[in-house]
Chain A
Amino acid sequence: MDIFTLIFWVITLVWLGFSLKKDKGKTLKAIKMSGGMMKGIAGDILGILLLIGLILTFVPPETIKATIGQTNEVVSTVLFALLGSITLIPAFVAFPLVASLVDAGASIVPIVAFLTTLTMVGVVTFPLEKREFGLKFTLIRNSLSLIFALVIALTMGVIL
């Protein structure tokens, strides 16, 4: 277990201890509720993990590396950003997916672009957002998010 996960475990367990001491009923109820929520997405998570296993076996990392290494980084970053905009999968499920790409040797710049637009830009939810906040707001927020996703991705490429 890496140090970060360990820190989160410690913080959470200490907080849990305090919480149980202060209000046992409330704490247990909250845990039960989150448990129910978690159960709802457990099937999707397991599905995606199984799919990753399958893909990694059939498309060996060397192939992924070679393919991604060949395409221009700017082009692949824009492509991944657009891909992230049109998909609506929980980020929770997306992390192991992109991690498998990074492990296989993909550059992080397109990955960051994908992760950021995945959650921040919503083409699928555009009509809903428009109905609540109006066209102008929705258009500006989504375009800004797309632009900043690219900026963040390129900056991370320089830093890391």
Chain B
Amino acid sequence: MTFLKSQLKNNRFLMIVILAYVAVGIFSPDKFLPSLGNTWYYVKEMLMIMPVILLLTSLISAWVPKETIENAFGKNSGIKGSLFAFLLGSFSAGPIYAAFPVCKMLLSKGASIANIVIILSTWAVIKIPMLITESKFLGPEFMVVRWILTTLAIFLMGYITSRFVKPEDLPADDEAAALVDPLSLNPDYCVGCGLCAKIAPSHFKMVDKKATVISQTLSSGDGLAIKDAVAKCPSQIIRFHP
């Protein structure tokens, strides 16, 4: 029963649409099958690319050395730094707000304002898995042209923003609050991927699509799992000070 309840809660949108279908089935049954038929066409298209996207995202997360890239461009703020920023954004996953904490961390490592804009924008619009979806649904030509234009725009935006915003304009980091507990996370930026709960189930739990810390007690061996979760969290929001 609780399982059913949590399923309902997590798929509220799907449930509403299904209810709409029930209503259609009752009030204008002649439209019911055509609706499903129209849906089927898009489902087919989705199924053709879903496995690729799934595999590609996994391969990227397994083999693209994010830490190396992150460390590298803290020091380079020239063309090379921008290029790294562009790559980092292109090979990421998750919505734009997942990029905020990552960028914050990079700022503290010395990344420039222009590069932060480049990561944020690239992360938002032209990630690799998204390009595949776009080319599937809107055609390769559409995707390529939009990619070229957007890339140009992103570099321009980085440059313009850095002319107006100076590093002093950014608020200082206040991590002090997080130091009270050994383990903490900011649920605002949690993308709900559930990785932490999977890796360290005794310390994290998913509640309402957001992760929460359920235990502060550390028994021997826990440290490794938690550190793994810290490293794998796509928004880099788990703080751990044993």
Contacts and interface: CB of A to CB of B under 8 A. Distances in A.
A80 B142 CA distance: 18
A107 B138 CA distance: 12
B59 A15 contact: yes
Interface residues of B, number: 86
A132 B157 contact: no
A132 to B, nearest CB: 5
Contacts of A5: 48-49, 52, 132, 135-136
B157 A43 contact: no
Interface in A73-110: 88, 90-92, 95-96, 98-100, 102, 108
A27 B62 CA distance: 7
Interface of B, helix, strand, loop or mixed by DSSP = helix
A31 B55 contact: yes
Contact of B140 (A4, A26, A36): A4
A92 B24 CA distance: 27
Contact of A50 (B39, B130, B157): B39
A57 interface: yes
A4 to B, nearest CB: 4
Contacts of A33: 58, 61, 193, 195, 198, 232
Q: Which of B21, B58, B63, B120 has the most CB of A within 10 A?
A: B58
B132 to A, nearest CB: 5
Contacts of A49: 39, 42-43, 46
B13 to A, nearest CB: 4
Nearest to B154: A148
B209 interface: yes
Contact of A112 (B62, B137, B146): B146
The size class of the interface chain A forms with chain B is 35 or more
A151 interface: yes
Contact of A108 (B45, B49, B100, B142): B142
Interface string B107-142: 000000100110011001100011011111110111
Contacts of A112: 146
A146 B24 CA distance: 38
A52 B39 contact: yes
A137 B165 contact: yes
Contact of A36 (B18, B34, B117, B194): B194
Given A47-B17, A54-B24, A92-B130, A40 B192 contact: yes
8 residue pairs, one from A and one from B, having the closest CB atoms: A53-B39, A43-B11, A99-B137, A53-B38, A30-B62, A47-B14, A30-B58, A148-B153
9 contacts: A36-B195, A37-B195, A53-B38, A57-B31, A96-B45, A120-B125, A125-B97, A129-B100, A159-B145
